[in-house]
Amino acid sequence: MALAVIEGRGAEHGRSRVIDNNVSGFTIYQVTSGRVFHLENIIATNRSGTAELNIYDSFSGDPSLSGTLRARLVLGATKTEFIGDGEAIKGVTFVSSVVAFSTVSGVWLHVGGTER
């Protein structure tokens, strides 16, 4: 009897958080050890002035020093943006954690995807 391994789509995950302007960033999603998080969508709402959001795959400490920049978004004042799979984020993956920085406080960020 032969066994076949069937690779599925993976477990769906999503997390949200309000981001404030600070130097250490905010962890949005912690990737399970030994897995890879495949980003499929981002929803960001900015309630203040124009914001730049930088999203890193962070390994430890300050992501701008030890992480890898995975996405950068510029949001106009009082705007909401949706970016789905197949657009600018196709193929973006994280192996450690999704960490976000914002140039203004009060930006709400949601990341959704699958872990495999």
Q: Which positions ≥6 away from 64 have C-beta within 8 Å?
A: 54, 56, 101
**CA gap 68, 89 in Å, rounded:** 14
Q: Checking DSSP bridges between strand 80-84 and strand 68-75, what pairing results, if any?
A: unpaired
Residues of the chain with pLDDT > 90, as a percent, come to 59
Max distance between CA atoms of the chain, in angstroms, equals 63
Threshold 0.95, pTM exceeds: no
Which of the pair, 40 or 87, is modelled with greater confidence?
40
Mean pLDDT of the 6-18 span = 74
Which of the pair, 55 or 85, is modelled with greater confidence?
55
Residue 116 in contact with residue 35, Cβ under 8 Å?
Answer: yes
pLDDT band at 60 (very low <50, low <70, confident <90, very high): low
Residue 105 in contact with residue 23, Cβ under 8 Å?
Answer: no
pLDDT score of 85: 64
Q: Which residue in 66, 54, 59 sits closest to 25, CA to CA?
A: 54
65-69 own/partner pairs: CB under 8 Å, 24+ apart? 67/96, 67/99
